[in-house]
């Protein structure tokens, strides 16, 4: 019986958000006739139950010690789950783990893989996957000739389903063991303070039009008076060294879909839009009324940000 297998990941001992987003994508495909939804995870009952609450109908658990190891160590466990589930679609996150695991799995299974997908649908009983290409200026659609269809899915492309602890599903422990050919010599964690950009409900983003890095201090102050807010940046601003590359939003940066995206002195190049076009509400602050970001925005303030941002901070502070 065909179906969808998602490859779940864990982070700091809990199921990582990307896994729930993959379940969101899988449930949409299932509703279009792609069959049942199963998941494989390096973890135990707690992780399996979290996946079931988010929509998995069956979960295959593998040795928890595989979590955090290089992706090739998990290949045998994923292949065992693939065989047991009979799935003909495998969804993997576009993460450092998934970028390694997906192509290796496709090679071993003698099929193709579509990487960095942002849209998935079933057409004629088969998967059709869409991703950006040519620097975000075009969209490529992929279908598979081989029976097995594998795709990596960009974070924030699909909403995670609401969890329901009342859902039930089968949990099967897999004995598949695996070893990595990679030796990890050390792990350096990127330093970050405050709320993660990807998790923020409000993103205050700055671009080259800020003029210099001091402009970002004003944006940080604006973010500090807004709830659940983080600061992002365009690639131009990051390349100039005004803000850390980890804050870059766009095709070659982070993908965010907050409730509110405030784009300040950002022109709205397609490569930037690729990282934030899914935001629920876009507000542009820009001197140029013809800037692409102004056209894409729900609300725009056409003026110098140096005048607008301090006034905005004052007004928000008054609201308490
Ligand atoms: C392969 C590839 C990948 C890329 N990936 C990314 C990516 O991931 N993310 C990304 O951001 N870019 C990416 N880029 C770069 C992208 O094409 C743009 O060059 C970049 O986004 C421009 O950044 P910007 O909007 O900050 O600067 P600009 O395009 O220079 O825009 C500055 C804006 O500020 C406004 N402005 C100026 N002064 C003020 C003021 N005082 N007050 C208010 N507004 C003002 C101007 O009107 C203008 O609209 C990529 C490019 C390539 C080729």
Name the pLDDT band for 186 (thresholds 50, 70, 90).
confident
pLDDT digits (tens, 9 = 90+) for 98-116: 999 999 999 999 999 999 9
Name the pLDDT band for 132 (thresholds 50, 70, 90).
confident
Query: What's the average model confidence in pLDDT over 105-129?
Result: 97
Q: Which domains, from first to last, does the chain contain?
A: 3-173 (3.40.50.620), 197-318 (3.40.50.1220)
Q: What is the mean pLDDT of the chain?
A: 94
Name the pLDDT band for 17 (thresholds 50, 70, 90).
very high
Q: Where are the alpha helices (DSSP H) in 54-194?
A: 75-85, 96-108
Query: What's the average model confidence in pLDDT over 287-312?
Result: 97
Give one DSSP letter per residue of 215-242, joined into a string: HHHHHHHHHHTSTTEEEEE-HHHHHTTS
Name the pLDDT band for 174 (thresholds 50, 70, 90).
confident
Give the per-residue pLDDT at 192: 67
Share of the chain above pLDDT 90, in %: 82
Q: Distance (Å, rounded) from C-alpha 221 to C-alpha 187?
A: 32
Distance 204 CA to ligand 1 centre (A): 15
Q: Residue 24 has which token pair?
A: 């969101």
Range of weakest confidence among 125-139, 152-166, 231-245: 125-139
Give the per-residue pLDDT at 251: 87
Q: Which numbered atom of ligand 1 lies nearest the CA of 292?
A: 49
Q: Distance (Å, rounded) from C-alpha 84 to C-alpha 102?
A: 18
Range of weakest confidence among 33-42, 44-53, 251-260: 251-260
Residue 194's CB is within 10 A of a number of other CB atoms, namely: 13
Distance 267 CA to ligand 1 centre (A): 5
Choice from 135, 136, 156, 207 to test ligand 1 binding pocket (greatest atom count within 8 A of CB)? 207
Q: Is 198 in the pocket of ligand 1 (CB under 6 A)?
A: no
Give the per-residue pLDDT at 122: 98
Q: Is 242 in the pocket of ligand 1 (CB under 6 A)?
A: no
Distance 308 CA to ligand 1 centre (A): 19
Q: Is 210 in the pocket of ligand 1 (CB under 6 A)?
A: no
Q: Residue 116 has which token pair?
A: 């960095």
Residue 176 reports pLDDT greater than 90: no
Characterize the bridge pairing of strands 3-7 and 89-93.
Answer: parallel
Q: Kindly state the helix (H) or strand (E) to which residue 302 belongs, with its residue range.
A: strand 299-302
Three-state DSSP state, 9: coil
Give the per-residue pLDDT at 280: 92
Distance 266 CA to ligand 1 centre (A): 5
Backbone angles phi, psi at 97, to 5 degrees: -65, -50
Three-state DSSP state, 129: strand
Q: Is 248 in the pocket of ligand 1 (CB under 6 A)?
A: yes
Q: Residue 73 has which token pair?
A: 């160590």
Share of the chain above pLDDT 70, in %: 98
Give the per-residue pLDDT at 229: 96
Distance 219 CA to ligand 1 centre (A): 16
Q: Is 308 in the pocket of ligand 1 (CB under 6 A)?
A: no
Give the per-residue pLDDT at 1: 63
pLDDT digits (tens, 9 = 90+) for 66-84: 998 999 999 999 999 999 9
pLDDT top residue among 192 and 248:
248
Q: Distance (Å, rounded) from C-alpha 92 to C-alpha 99?
A: 8
Residue 103's CB is within 10 A of a number of other CB atoms, namely: 17
Quick one: 216 exposed, middle or buried, by C-beta within 10 A (0-12, 13-18, 19+)? buried
Rg from Cα positions in the chain: 21
- Cα separations (Å) of 254 from 57, 156, 176, 230, 250? 30, 9, 34, 13, 6
Backbone angles phi, psi at 277, to 5 degrees: -65, -20
């Amino acid at each position: 019986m065909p179906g969808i297998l998602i490859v779940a990941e864990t982070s700091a001992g809990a199921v990582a958000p990307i896994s729930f987003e993959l379940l969101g994508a899988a449930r949409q495909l299932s509703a279009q006739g792609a069959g049942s939804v199963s998941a494989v995870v390096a973890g135990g009952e707690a992780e399996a139950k979290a996946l079931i609450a988010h929509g998995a109908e069956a979960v295959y658990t593998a040795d928890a010690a595989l979590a955090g190891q290089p992706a090739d160590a998990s290949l045998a466990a994923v292949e065992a789950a693939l065989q047991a589930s009979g799935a003909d679609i495998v969804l993997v996150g576009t993460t450092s783990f998934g970028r390694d695991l997906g192509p290796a799995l496709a090679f071993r299974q003698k099929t193709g893989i579509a990487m960095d997908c942002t849209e998935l649908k079933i057409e004629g009983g088969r998967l059709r996957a869409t991703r950006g290409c040519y620097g975000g200026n075009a969209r490529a659609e992929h279908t598979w000739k081989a029976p097995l269809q594998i795709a990596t899915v960009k974070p924030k492309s699909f909403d995670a389903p609401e969890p329901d602890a009342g859902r039930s599903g089968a949990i099967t422990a897999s004995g598949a063991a695996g070893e990595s050919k990679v030796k990890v010599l050390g792990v350096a964690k990127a330093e970050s303070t405050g709320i993660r950009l990807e998790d923020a409900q409000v993103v205050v983003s700055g671009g080259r039009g800020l003029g210099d890095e001091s402009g970002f201090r004003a944006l940080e102050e604006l973010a500090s008076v807004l709830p659940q807010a983080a600061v992002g940046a365009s690639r131009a601003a990051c390349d100039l060294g005004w803000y850390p590359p980890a804050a870059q939003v766009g095709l070659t940066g982070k993908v965010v879909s907050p409730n509110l995206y405030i784009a300040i002195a950002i022109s709205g190049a397609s490569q930037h839009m690729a990282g934030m076009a899914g935001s629920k509400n876009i507000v542009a602050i820009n001197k140029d009324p013809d800037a692409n970001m102004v056209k894409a925005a729900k609300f725009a303030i056409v003026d110098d940000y140096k005048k607008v941002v301090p006034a905005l901070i004052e007004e928000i502070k008054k609201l308490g």
